[in-house]
Amino acid sequence: MVYLTGAGPGALDLLTIKALRVIREADVIIYDRLANPDILAEAKDGCEFIYVGKADSHHTLPQDQINEVIYQAAQKYDTVVRLKGGDPLVFGRGGEEALYLRKRGVKFEFIPGVTSAIAVPEYAGIPVTHRGITVSFRVVTGHEAAKEKSQIPWENYKSDDTIIFLMGLHRLNYIVEKLLEIGKPKDFPIAVISKGTWPDEKTVIGTLENIVQRAEGLQTPALIVVGRVVELHKELSWFESIDDQS
C-alpha cells in the first residue's frame, strides 16, 4: 500500500493523527523539501528514507522519475509513505503519482494534509474569508512552467475574492503586474508570508505598489495573499507576536 500523505504546512503539531500513524508504520518514507524533517524522527527503526525534494526550478528528480521511485518502493515494501508538504492534491502532484500507481496495479490511499493555503494566512492573522469583506477565496499556483502558456484566468480575478498564490515568491513582480493590468488599484492590500507556521515565520504587508520592494530578502517557501482581508493582520496577528505577549 502506498499512502500519499500530506505533511501539513510545516509546524510538526499540524500533522494529522492518521498521517502520524502511517508514518510510524512505514517501511519507507519518500519525502520532499517542504515536509518538516522532524517528522522523520517519528519513523520506526529500520525505516528507509528517500529524498526527492524540489527547490525552485531545481529538481532532485523529475516527476516521472519520482513516480517510478514510488512504484519500485511498492514492489519492495509493504507500507510506503509518500510524504508531501501541505496537502497531496493541492499543487502537490499527488494525482499524477496516484494515476501512475493505478495503471500499474498498485493500491494507494490519500491522506489529506492541512493545506498551507489556509493555515499559513491563519497563522499570520489573515482569514481567507470574513463577513462583510469577502465570502470566497481562490487558490492559485504561483509557479507555472516558464515555457508553457499561462493557464491562470487573470480576467476572472477582478472580483473581491481573496486570492492565495502558492510558491509564487520568485514571480511576485509578474503577479503584481498582472493584477494591476486587470484593474486592481495600486493601493490594494497584499501580504507575503515566509516560512509560514515555522518558528521563523515572517509576514510582510504592503500594497501592489510597494510589495515587491518590501518583500526583498524573504525566504522560501512563501505564500502570497491578495485581498481586503490582509488589512485584518494588524488586529489579528498572533503567532509572530507570541514572544511579545509572553
Lowest mean pLDDT among 11-20, 108-117, 153-162: 153-162
* Domain final position from 52, 82, 111: 111
1 pLDDT higher than 50: yes
Count CB neighbours of 141 within 10 A. 15
Active site residue 167: yes
Per-residue pLDDT tens over the stretch 118-133: 999 999 999 999 999 9
244 pLDDT higher than 50: no
Mean pLDDT of the chain: 93
62 versus 138: the higher-pLDDT residue is 138
Active site residue 32: yes
Model confidence pTM above 0.85: yes
**What pLDDT sits at residue 68?**
97
Into how many domains does the chain fold? 2
Of 54, 84, 184, 195, the catalytic one is 54
The three-state secondary structure class of 106 is coil
127 and 194: one domain?
Answer: yes
Do residues 66 and 52 lie in contact, with contact meaning Cβ atoms separated by under 8 Å? yes
Of 84, 87, 167, 184, the catalytic one is 167
CATH number at residue 137: 3.30.950.10
Active site residue 54: yes
Give mean pLDDT, residues 28-36: 91
Whole domain around residue 76: which residue ranges? 2-111
Of 1, 18, 27, 32, the catalytic one is 32
**What's the DSSP call for residue 246?**
-
Lowest mean pLDDT among 14-28, 77-91, 147-161: 147-161
CATH number at residue 8: 3.40.1010.10
178 and 235: one domain?
Answer: yes
- Which residues neighbour 68 within 8 Å (Cβ) at sequence distance 6 or greater? 100
Rounded to whole angstroms, the maximal C-alpha distance in the chain is 57
66 and 156: one domain?
Answer: no
**What pLDDT sits at residue 107?**
98
246 pLDDT higher than 50: no
Return d(Cα 122, Cα 118) in angstroms, integer: 6
Per-residue pLDDT tens over the stretch 34-91: 889 899 999 999 999 999 986 555 556 889 999 999 999 999 999 999 999 999 999 9
127 and 75: one domain?
Answer: no
